[in-house]
Amino acid sequence: MITDTDPDKILEIHKRMIDKSVRVLEGNASWVGRVVDVIDTENFSVRKGRESTSQAVSVFNIRSL
């Protein structure tokens, strides 16, 4: 049985965010980046620009654009 908390289902949904632009919230500041990968059920790998390295960002700190 697949539930809403099934890790495989969550990862499948999160993978839809790959190559999407997102706003990342960091304290009082925010920046726009692109999701490059899904790390696990609670973290994405997000890159600020093409030349920058990607960072692990919690799903709770990401907003869709």
Beta strands in the chain (DSSP E): 21-26, 29-40, 43-47, 55-58, 62-64
pLDDT at 3 over 90: no
Q: Phi first, then psi: what are they for 9, rounded to 5°?
A: -70, -40
Distance CA 1, CA 18 (A): 26
Question: Any residues with CB less than 8 A from the CB of 14 and at least 6 apart, and which?
Answer: 38, 41, 44, 59
pLDDT at 34: 97
Reported pTM: 0.86
pLDDT, tens digit, 9 for 90 and up, residues 28-65 = 999 999 999 999 999 999 999 888 899 999 999 999 99
